Copies of this chain bind each other. A is one copy, B any other.
Amino acid sequence: MAAAPVDLPGAVVPAVLTPVRADLAIDHDAFAEHCRWLLAHGCDGLAPMGTTGEANSFSVAERTEALERLVAAGVPAARMIVGVGCCAIPDTVALARHAVELGVGGVLALPPFYYKNVSDDGLYAAYDQVIQRVADARLRLYLYHFPQMSGVPLSRALVARLRAAYPDTVVGLKDSSGDWDNMKALCEMLPGFRVYAGTERYLLALLRTGGAGTISSTVNVTCALAARVAARPDAPEADALQERLTAVRDAIERRPPAIPALKRLVAERTGHEGWRYARPPHLPLDDERFAQVKAGLQALDFALPGG
């Protein structure tokens, strides 16, 4: 297989929100505009169609169309790590193949997540099927470990086995478990493996441990601050910047649900009210809860750039 492309997405990567209209169809123009704004405000890459992007609330056809339209609108595919993990292997294969053909920097794949308490052998077989069926040397696959949401953890033994079997394909992992010890152990166990934290809370610590950075929901609003942390992780001021970044993250995370809250923050930044909508089971955030989120950010003197 060919060597990894040189322009792999860097340290600060938002799990990009997906705007929908009142009829719940994707608002492609607002989507491209937000992606461009993110890249102009400190993001090294983009991770569309992940958990934050409500990916699993969209059909395969909606997801492929959305990606095509982003690329057509000039959003650089090579800087994207695109979510592709579905319950059904054929769906994951279709999404991954499509993304690779568009020239993405990588794909982020949940394990099949309907069945619980499945064996590591079964999960290995699922990823193996995806890689074999995509059958493309350009595939760069990031495993997605998010046990609280998927209900299907990826053990370090499974990760190591997949990495050993496909060293040029299984290039990294997003760890949304919140378990710092697991992220650290992965970095130490697999040198060169690109470990992303699912929260920017661990951005600095992970960069200092040889990790790749963060792929995070809240980076949709914290990107400029996160970029300052990632720019010079060894600088003396990095710790204070990280502390502030963590406080902003906390202020949003502490007041769930995060996806509708982040959407309202983008609605406010852009003046585009359509950003409030979300696909069920998510609902638009009500005014009272949004006021609490804003109060939390104001208490930190945190103003959205461009807002």
| Interface set of A (CB-CB < 8 Å, partner B) | 24, 51, 56-60, 62, 87-91, 94, 111-119, 121-123, 125-126, 128-129, 148-152, 256-257, 279-283
A232 to B283, CA, bound (A): 47
A123 in contact with B280 (CB, 8 Å): yes
With known contacts A59-B60, A129-B24, A151-B151, A281–B88 Cβ distance under 8 A: no
Q: List chain B residues, Cβ under 8 A from A59.
A: 60, 88, 90-91, 94
Q: List chain B residues, Cβ under 8 A from A149.
A: 114-116
Interchain nearest-CB distance for A162 vs B (Å): 13
A126 in contact with B280 (CB, 8 Å): yes
Q: Which residue of chain B has the shortest Cβ distance to A127 in the bound complex? A: B280
Q: Which residue of chain B has the shortest Cβ distance to A114 in the bound complex? A: B56
A77 to B114, CA, bound (A): 26
In the assembled complex, 21 residue pairs joining A and B whose CB atoms fall closer than 8 Å, in A order, are A51-B114, A56-B112, A57-B87, A57-B89, A57-B112, A58-B88, A59-B90, A89-B279, A114-B149, A115-B282, A116-B149, A116-B151, A118-B282, A119-B281, A119-B283, A122-B280, A122-B281, A122-B282, A123-B280, A125-B280, A125-B283
Q: List chain B residues, Cβ under 8 A from A119.
A: 281, 283
Q: List chain B residues, Cβ under 8 A from A114.
A: 51, 56-57, 113, 149-150
Q: List chain B residues, Cβ under 8 A from A122.
A: 280-283
Q: Which residue of chain B has the shortest Cβ distance to A152 in the bound complex? A: B281
Interchain nearest-CB distance for A263 vs B (Å): 14
Interchain nearest-CB distance for A283 vs B (Å): 5
Q: Which residue of chain B has the shortest Cβ distance to A148 in the bound complex? A: B116
Partner of A281, one of B51, B126, B279, B283: B126
Partner of A283, one of B60, B87, B89, B121: B121
Q: List chain B residues, Cβ under 8 A from A148.
A: 116
Q: List chain B residues, Cβ under 8 A from A111.
A: 281
A56 in contact with B123 (CB, 8 Å): no
B62 in contact with A112 (CB, 8 Å): no
Q: Which residue of chain B has the shortest Cβ distance to A116 in the bound complex? A: B149
Interchain nearest-CB distance for A133 vs B (Å): 10
B56 in contact with A281 (CB, 8 Å): no
Interchain nearest-CB distance for A31 vs B (Å): 17
Q: List chain B residues, Cβ under 8 A from A62.
A: 88, 90
A150 to B60, CA, bound (A): 20
Interchain nearest-CB distance for A30 vs B (Å): 20
Q: Which residue of chain B has the shortest Cβ distance to A58 in the bound complex? A: B88
A87 in contact with B89 (CB, 8 Å): no
With known contacts A116-B149, A148-B116, A149-B114, A58–B281 Cβ distance under 8 A: no
